Each structure stands twice: as structure tokens, then as C-alpha cells.
Structure 1
Amino acid sequence: MTETGAQPLPAYEVGRLATAVLDSVGSVVVGKRDSLELVLAGILAGGHVLLEDLPGLGKTLTARCFAQALGLDFRRLQFTPDLLPADVTGSFLYDQRKGDFAFRAGPVFTNMLLADEINRTPPKTQAALLEAMQEKQVSVEGVTYRLDPPFHVLATANPIEYEGTYPLPEAQLDRFLLRVSFGYPTAQEEWEVLQRRMSRRQEEAFLQPVVDSAALQSMQAALETITVEDSIGRYCVSLAAATREHASVLVGSSPRGSLALLLLARARAAMAGRDFVVPEDVKDVAVPALAHRITLRPEMWLRRVDPAFVVDEVLQNTPAPASGALPTYATGYTAT
């Protein structure tokens, strides 16, 4: 039993439900299975996800589909330059009938919040999300309100259009467990999008819930039962530490990066129906978990070096534990 009161599910059941959720979302979002798996891993790990990609590649659709498939209350907030913190958290309004001020909850009081184009709003409003993302609560006029679990922020950002935007500071980027990009579809995948649109005969796609809020919390609770061998935990630490020593990096990943590796690797293991983590789980999530936590040296910007390239180099140069070294204390498995 966890703090939220959810009873952990067996790893194989988490894997079965995760596959069903991905299949459901994949019936609408075409050909992006790897990226969808990363988004779901972030949700199962209890974190927030930054979807950074070009316009029209399915970021908003992905968030809505996951909310429907997971049976979560969903709200979309369009971030604009004139958006105020109270528009996010809510505010006190005067109730003439009662002769007193009453709190009107903002859109952050939901299970899944789509923060659309988060980099288009001023830092003060961006910061209004920080407390909610980190502490799962908001403070308005000195009064603190708890957010009901589960609570997840899926934020979108355009990586190339910077005019009129406010880049997210490193401290806020660090609050996102991982950053995911979709990229352009292949010609066949794009044709499949058109085919599905014609077969639906309507613009919107609606998914039936695969699980509900309680089941999702039980899936999340299962991650605490996933075994992580010491060698793999030290591998996570080594990867994060190596980003701080790379020649192209000004500021490397914080310890939040190694924690993100651990949490996401556990989620990947559970999604595969395993109750233990293997090095491949860590490798699969290294780029989305670490790249957005790295600040490159100014001269690297001129050379158009991508932080993902730095993480790839770190992966190549950091020895991984032997994949065959399965934990002997994982039920039903022995080390080889």
C-alpha cells in the first residue's frame, strides 16, 4: 500500500494494461510507438512530460488520447503572453450572496493538464506551474490547496519559433521528467492518417477508457516494487555525472537526472512485464531524461551541437553493467 492508498499491481499486469493503453492511443496517433511509450513511462513514473516538436505533429492529440485512454479528467490551457498566474491556479472572487470571497479553482485542478505552448507565456505565469508540478499543490493569497492525485502536466513547446516566446529556464526544464519529440511521419504513416480520418467521418477521435484513475495509481504504485540492482543504480549515477565532465557541456545534469533515469527505467521494466530493471531500460530513456538538463557551451551553439548528441557520446563511453547480471532476488530469475 502506498501513500495514496493504491494497492500495487503485479508487474505482468502493469505490462498488460500498458500495452492495452498504447494500442488504444496508437489507434489514433499513427506510427509513433517509441515516443508514445516514453510518454506513458513518464506518466507511470509519476512525472511531467515536455513534448517539444514542430506544429502539427500530434502533440495536443497525444495528450488528449492518453487522458481518454487512462480515464483521467483532462483540461487544456493555451499559454499566451497575456496569461496571468491566477488564470492557471485560480483566484478568489467576491460572492455577493454570501458577502465573502470564494475560491474559484483554475484549470490546474485536474488529473492531466495540457500546457499548450508553455514557452509563449511570461516567466511569472510559467512559475505558477512550478509549485503545482513539484509539490502537487498551489498557494493562492496565502492559502494552500492540494491537487488530487494523479496529477500530470503534459506541456508542448515549439523548438524553432522563438519570436514572442519566453524560453523555459533551466530550473523549470529540470521539473520535467523527460522531453519527447515525435518527428515527421513517413509517407506511409501520413497516408494512414488520411485513411483513418476518412473512415472516422468526423474530425475528433474519441477513445474508450482502458483504465481509470484508481487503476493508474495502482500501476504507478507497482513501480516501487521493481527491483534495481546496485550496479544499475550506479550506472544511472555514472551517466549523469559524465554529462558534467563532457567537453561540450557548460552545466551538466543535476542529480534529478540520475533520479529520472532510475524512475523511467523502472517504468520501462514494468511496461515490459518485468519486476527488475536491466541496463537496456536505462539506455532507452537516457536521451529523453538527460538531454534537456544539459547546458552547452556557447561555442557549441554556433556548431549546432545537439544535447542529445552529448548524451549519445556519454552512453558510448560509460561502461554498462552486464545485461545478463539479473538480480538473484527477483522472483523466478537467477543470475548468469
Structure 2
Amino acid sequence: MSIQKLSLKRHTLVANKLLIVMSGLNRKTKRDNSYYYEKHSFGLAKNFVDIKWTGSLMKQILAYVAKCNSQGHISIISEQELANTIQCSVRTVQNNNKLLEDYDIIRWDRLWGDYIQVSLNNYLEDFLDLHIKEAADVQNISYNPEMLDEDNNTYTSKGGYTSVSMEVIYQLLAIKNINMLRLALRALYVYESDVNVKKDSEALLSYTEVKHILPKYIGYKAAIKEMASKLSTIFRIDVLEKEDCVKTLLEEKQPRKSIIEKIKDGFILSFNLTGAHDSKKQKEIEKIRGEHAFAQFKNFFKSFGHYSIKKEDIHSIVHEFGLDIIEKSLTSVQRHLQQTYIEESMDAFRPLVHEMESNFFTYIRKIANGYYQAKINAL
């Protein structure tokens, strides 16, 4: 009998401040004769700072964020499936829920058996770091996570957010060592900051940065190198030491002042996300290829009728199910149309065409959902 696990969103948006606080706030606060505190810089709420982030607690929150809807609500979730997914006991899940509720981070209610419903408190502010601008018309705001990368004029953010792929989320939930998990979460934030925002070719973490987020007993180079090597299923990682730091980061590039400061450590971890692990780049590729796939299908369909679908709806459905599922769905619909046209009467064919013309987005989404659920069940 296979162990049932949670099915998660393909792309999950996580506030950078959440990655920061769970990875461990940097203890080295003095910089250039001034002081820099991450809890103030990122606007962290007191309850998120005060709670003690255990490994299972971090993974449970990540699972909730990767499962909830755009309002931060999960209508039904199995405690056993959650425990299977984050690799702990059901009792630990239950104790974590009580603790998170005591710190006003979540609300939860038992439905029946081991099924519960969960709501993340202050979801937009605390879990996405999105704050509605004062000039915005609050009544007319409808939060759409798929549109944030395209139009974020409604919200302001202090520290931003990171898009994390389903593949990376599952890898994070499988990490057993809490310090490895901390390092991975910090690396995700630095990748977003260095690569996606500053457009560097790689994310860099110096020895000083790493050792001051980890407990003192683990903050030596050999242990950090060992942990980093075990994160190779998520990142492409290079360890740069001594001369390598200078040759790789100075001779071949024109680094910023902050990078030069890291080089002085003589020990740097270089992180990169590739392929499906790079959620942001993957979404951009899928948007373009998704538009092309729908354009090809519309060219085929014009022999039978006409339908309309918005570009943002194409992005939304590709974002939700993945390009492979959408292409499979469109191919299936095309074959079904051809078969019905050849083998059935016009009385059967015309209602099919009319259903697609009336709301093609809903029609294709229903088919894509069936393929997607089959894919999840096969995992």
C-alpha cells in the first residue's frame, strides 16, 4: 500500500521575510560602524520572531503555504497525509497546530476524523509580504497570484517574495536535518535577491553569512561544506575557497562592493537553480509556449467555429497545471473533435462545438484537471 502524500501547487509564492526568519536571523548585526537587524529590515511580526522554529514546524508551514488558496485557506487537509509529506508523526502535526494557533499564526478546526481545515492569519501581509497601497480601492481588489509578476501596482512589499517550484518544495519537505533546511531556505532567498532581482549569474553566500544564521556548534567550514553537498538535489552548488574566490569572482566579472566583501572571507558557497527547479524562469517559458500551443489549437478549431480566451487565462491555466498537461489536453480535445466529426452525426457534433465556443477556458480546464489529478496520483 502506497503512502498518501499531499498534492501541492506547482508554484508557491513565499515571502522572503518568512524564508529569512525560518532560516535563522543573522546574528552579525554590526556593519560599517552601524547596525542592521533583519527583523526590522524585513518588517517581521513579533509572533514570527518569538516562536521557536523547529524543523517540523518550518516544513508544516511550507506545506500549508504550498497547499492554500489565494486567501490563505485550506478547506480540507488530512493530518496523516500532512505527516507523511513532512515526515513526522500525526501527534507532531497536532502539537504544531496548537503552537501555531497559540502564536496567532494560523487558525484551524477539526472537521471529522483526521481531516481539518486551516487558515493562515494575515496571509497577504505575513506570508506574501504584500500590503495594499493607500491609494488602492480596497473594495475592488481581487488578489490573483498568477498576475503578480505582470502587474503589481496594487500592492507594496518591503522584502518581496520568492516563487518556489513544486519540485523544490517536495525536496525541502524531505530534508531531515534542520540546519540543512535553514541553509536551503536562506539560499532560496539569496537566489531571488542576487539572480532574479540584481540579475547576477549566481547566488553567493559567504562563510560569515552562513555561520551567523546557524547554531555555533555547526558553524565551521567542514560541516557547512558537507551540508551544502547534500543540497545538490535542489541547487547546483560550488564551494569557492581562497584563490578560487578571487579568480572566479574578480578576474572573470566586475563585482559589486557587497561581493568584494564576501570574497574577503575566502570561503563562498555559489548556488544556482536549473530547469524546473527555477520557478520564475520556468513560468516565463511556460507562458510563451502556452500561448503558442493555444494559438496552434485555435488555428485548427477555426474550421469548426470560433472561441475566445484571454491571455491571462492562458497564463493562469498553464501556471496551474503545467505545459505538459495543457498540451496533452489540447491534443485530446483535437482528437475528440475529429473523431466526433467523422463518426457521429451533426446533432452530436454541434453541441460539442457550442460548449467549447461558450467558455473554452472552463472546458479545457476541466479536462486538464483530470489529467493533472491522474499525474499526482501516480507520483
Question: Which TM-score band (shorter chain)?
Answer: under 0.3
TM-score (norm 2): 0.24
If the length of structure 1 is used for normalisation, what is the TM-score?
A: 0.26
Larger C-alpha radius of gyration, 1 or 2? 2
Larger RCO: Structure 1 or Structure 2 (Cα < 8 Å, ≥ 6 residues apart)?
1
